[in-house]
Structure 1
Amino acid sequence: MESRSIFLNISPLDHRYSLSEAKVFDDLSSFISEQAAVISCAKAETALIKAHLKMRGKLDSETEKKLDTVAWTIDPARVYAEEEKTKHNIRALVNVLKTLVPGETAPLVHLGATSVDILDTALSMRIRDCVQQVILPVLRDLEAHLCDIAERDAEVPQTGRTHGQHAVPITFGFAIAEYVSRLGKSIIEIERLSKNLRGKLAGPVGAYNGTSMLVKDPEELERLYLGYVGLEPSEHSTQLVEPEYLLRLLLECNVAFGILANLADDLRNLQRSEIGEVFEYFSADQVGSSTMPQKRNPWNSEHVKSLWKAFAPRVMTFFMDQISEHQRDLTNSASQRFVADYLTGFTLAAERMKSIVAGLNADAEGMMRNLNAAGGKVKGGILAEPAYLLLAESGVSDAHEVIRKITLDAEHSGISFFEALQKREDVFERIRAQAEKLGIKDAASFFEHPERYRGLAAEKARSLAAKYRKIAEQDR
């Protein structure tokens, strides 16, 4: 076929990203390119020949080897040229294969199959292989980097935030452990669902009409056929494999995509000038702005979020592909082709996020500065919660209101929460005594050091990192 410059391609996946993410793009192309689609269909067709020969007791290793070679070396350009004549993609493939396979096996090409017996089986094969050999390794590498940060920064104090406001202290390792846990579970589910993709050899309505004319046990022929490509049969088929096997996998990929976008948002916001708690790697030659030389934009995190915006909405198409009239219509013929685009966008986002977290650094001084200044003038004011809890535990029924008024006094007076608390000697003494009962060291100075009030943040960060690191290592 005629080749052309990649810069004449329409999709940015095939020019911008094929250059900037060349390695991962090439890896994906091995499984979900158009060439891969033709090869996978050829592999399905040759698997059918093997199944027929096996049922007849005539399959030998030499023939099997020849059939495998034919499938792997088929020329997509030749198939496409034949399709110009037939106006049918699978019939074109069949015509080409009949000229390539050993002569005595040519009558067995496509025997008893309908087009979708080949197409749906081939789709499951290449999506399974793409997920297991490209996408999951990228996600597991990303997960490993997140585990590294969770462990490394398990003790680094940080201000927790809810509704965009300072809440109570945590550690940066704990903040990252959230994504260790969320992404880790999604990885497990993506792997499970990828192993459950199905194929079929059940004919044009799924009732084995054609193959029942060829063999006594059509389901055994189907099992043999799918066994050669590592799949199990769909429990029930029309002309199509039940769409939910693929749908559930794509939906879980979209769940993981959302996790990446959420992480990207968090990291981008923590890099704001007024927050300045983390920073991405920025090379010596990198430019942040065409007009402002000082800029160091968090563009990689923004890039991940942008890819999510472009591809996550396609989940609606996946749902719409569930529906096919009666035993089959062709309303998924175009839309299903874009599954490859979606998986590419998802993988590119994961690869970019991997590079972000691999070079991500926590600004411990910046985090401590924000922690000490949490609440503006109310220095250490994020410790109002433990003050309220200790006061209530000491027997004061309106402890929340008491502490709320102390925070207002600190704000209006321009003093720290600790100083305002000390002004209420009766309240402070109750709190100090209750803290000592709990075994808190240096109870009197506890409210001067917000980093001490972190609950189980460090422990959770370490335990989650250890858990998902072990799972990832077992799955490699």
Structure 2
Amino acid sequence: MSIKSLTPLEGRYGAITQPFGDYFSEWALIKYRIHVEVEWLITMSDHPGFAEIRAFTPEETAFLRNLVNQFDEATALRIKEIERTTNHDVKAVEYFLRESLGSMSLSDVLEFIHFACTSEDINNLAYALMLKDGIKDVWLPAAESLVTAVSEIAEKEKARPMLSYTHGQTASPSTVGKELAVFAYRWNRQLKQIRSQEYLGKFNGAVGNYNAHSIAYPEINWEDVSRSFVESLGLTHNPLTTQIESHDYVAETFHGLARFNNILLDFDRDMWLYISRGYFKQKAIAGEVGSSTMPHKVNPIDFENSEANLGLSNAVLDHLANKLPISRLQRDLSDSSALRNIGTGIAHSHLAITYTLKGLRKTVVNETALAHDLTNAWEVLSEAVQTVMRKHGHANSYDKLKAITRGKGIGEEEIKSFIESVALPEEDKKRLLALTPSQYVGIAASLVKHIK
């Protein structure tokens, strides 16, 4: 972290976003490129069809894989130094591998480093692995922690009555837990899709036709070799591409993250409104300042911070999802520059999740405020009364209730007086007269079970 960092991801929020450096930085891209190059070399040495490249000893294979396992900043800087001469980042990786293997027993296989590959064969696989690993190892655990935290509150507060608001106006009551469970259920659907997302890879040469491959080794089934290699990396093989993998799966991935983000944005805004109504209280943390001039304030800044980062995340994710699947003819270079920003959108999403979790830890249900508003909202029982009246054939039940409640304040005495005036079976009338706003929550508490 530097006080001169250009973006807050590396500066102000660097401690939170630091784990993404292992997946989306220039360092990470170089490391994943080496991983793909090394595994391709090992694959050829294991395949009998490549007669000109011998089988590697266990020690040689271990050495190659240790170039990845022991990859460090010094190695990355050496490759960047080579790139200053080549002016080509993937070629710099190839030359580094030649340099590393040239003084040892593997010096006889140097010409098979990057064999039959176009740069995009290496890059598309590297980016797919970066994206898959970064989401799985960093973003997904944070998202799951958020859903778990909200689910736990939903379960704890599933029977806690709360006044609802539709169009910002008082509406039929619900429970705190059920309303939070709605978000957990929505997030779980998105997480299911995100976890099952395919990450595609292509390995078919300059324009996707195995041109050089089939000239050099016409007897090899190149589609089988390509599929086997891509799948060995834990990716899904894309058999039909131009020079580049088409990036449709990247768009699918980012749209999934954006949907998760939008649900979180909805949650943040609802929590902000609940706090503003007093339904949730925020814990005062010793030493913290809510306002530079108003000493009493405890502001919902964590939910607001989350909201800001969600906007930035979705802006990047949406742009990349729309831009990356489009390429002129067999390829143009615009995807290369765009792909370098995939970590930005994901990191802003992760940052938003982190701050929402922080806000939740400082937030508690305010039973007093919840009870106060319910006690003063007897008008919400008009729905119950007119529905029971309809059940028993009373004409214009809705309009009769509307006349005494719409836009008016109505209390317990007035609503009960109206109920007494209506001809209803004794059992139904008794149930309506005993009803209070806090009891009129339907089966809200039992609905929370759907998040499990």
| TM > 0.5 | yes
Indicate whether 1:321 and 2:308 are aligned: no
Aligned counterparts of 2:293 and 2:125: Cα–Cα separation in 1: 53
1:239 and 1:328 in contact (8 A); partners too: yes
Query: Residue 51 of structure 2 aligns with which residue?
Result: none
Aligned counterparts of 1:435 and 1:45: Cα–Cα separation in 2: 78
Aligned counterparts of 2:410 and 2:232: Cα–Cα separation in 1: 75
Give the superposition deviation at 1:138: 0.9
2:223 and 2:239 in contact (8 A); partners too: no
The one of 295, 304, 308 aligned to 1:302: 304
Provide closer, same or farther for how the CA distance between residues 324 and 256 of structure 1 changes in structure 2, counting only shifts above 3 A: same
2:419 and 2:429 in contact (8 A); partners too: no
The one of 326, 338, 342 aligned to 2:341: 338
Indicate whether 1:129 and 2:125 are aligned: no
Aligned counterparts of 1:133 and 1:265: Cα–Cα separation in 2: 28
Query: Residue 265 of structure 1 aligns with which residue?
Result: 269
Q: How does 1:154-193 map to 2 (within 5 A)?
A: 154-193=158-197
Indicate whether 1:460 and 2:447 are aligned: yes
The runs of 5 or more residues in structure 2 that have no matched partner are: 49-53
Query: Residue 146 of structure 2 aligns with which residue?
Result: 142
1:158 and 1:171 in contact (8 A); partners too: yes
Aligned counterparts of 1:290 and 1:381: Cα–Cα separation in 2: 41
Give the superposition deviation at 1:279: 2.6
Query: Residue 86 of structure 2 aligns with which residue?
Result: 86
Aligned counterparts of 1:212 and 1:179: Cα–Cα separation in 2: 53
2:205 and 2:211 in contact (8 A); partners too: yes
Query: Residue 471 of structure 1 aligns with which residue?
Result: none
Give the superposition deviation at 1:135: 1.1
Aligned counterparts of 2:90 and 2:55: Cα–Cα separation in 1: 26
Indicate whether 1:416 and 2:420 are aligned: no
Aligned counterparts of 1:354 and 1:321: Cα–Cα separation in 2: 32
Give the superposition deviation at 1:331: 1.6
Percent identical among aligned pairs is 23
Indicate whether 1:43 and 2:35 are aligned: yes
In structure 2, the residue corresponding to 1:255 is in which secondary structure?
Answer: helix
Query: Could you give the per-residue CA deviations for residues 386-433 of structure 1, whole angstroms, max 9, x where no partner exists?
Result: 01101111111200001111225x93xx65154244156432x42764
Query: Residue 71 of structure 1 aligns with which residue?
Result: 68
Query: Residue 239 of structure 2 aligns with which residue?
Result: 235
Report the AA paired with residue 38 of structure 1: I
Query: Residue 370 of structure 1 aligns with which residue?
Result: 373
Q: How does 1:2-81 map to 2 (within 5 A)?
A: 6-19=2-15, 21=16, 25-56=17-48, 58-74=55-71, 75-81=75-81
Larger mean Cα displacement after TM superposition, 241-250 or 277-286: 277-286
Q: TM-score, normalised by structure 1?
A: 0.88
Give the superposition deviation at 1:26: 2.8
Aligned counterparts of 2:76 and 2:22: Cα–Cα separation in 1: 14
The one of 421, 434, 437 aligned to 1:426: 421
1:300 and 1:352 in contact (8 A); partners too: yes
Report the AA paired with residue 96 of structure 1: F
Aligned counterparts of 2:255 and 2:19: Cα–Cα separation in 1: 22
In structure 2, the residue corresponding to 1:14 is in which secondary structure?
Answer: coil
Q: TM-score, normalised by structure 2?
A: 0.92
Aligned counterparts of 2:270 and 2:426: Cα–Cα separation in 1: 36
The runs of 5 or more residues in structure 1 that have no matched partner are: 375-379, 468-476
In structure 2, the residue corresponding to 1:294 is in which secondary structure?
Answer: coil
Query: Residue 395 of structure 2 aligns with which residue?
Result: 397
Provide closer, same or farther for how the CA distance between residues 424 and 15 of structure 1 changes in structure 2, counting only shifts above 3 A: closer
Query: Residue 291 of structure 1 aligns with which residue?
Result: 293
The one of 419, 438, 445 aligned to 1:451: 438
Report the AA paired with residue 42 of structure 1: I
Query: Could you give the per-residue CA deviations for residues 281-315 of structure 1, whole angstroms, max 9, x where no partner exists?
Result: 44111110111111100000000111112221220
1:79 and 1:96 in contact (8 A); partners too: yes
Give the superposition deviation at 1:150: 0.7
Aligned counterparts of 1:156 and 1:347: Cα–Cα separation in 2: 30
Give the superposition deviation at 1:179: 0.6
Aligned counterparts of 2:67 and 2:380: Cα–Cα separation in 1: 69
In structure 2, the residue corresponding to 1:292 is in which secondary structure?
Answer: coil
Aligned pair count reads: 437
Give the superposition deviation at 1:95: 0.6
Give the superposition deviation at 1:371: 1.5
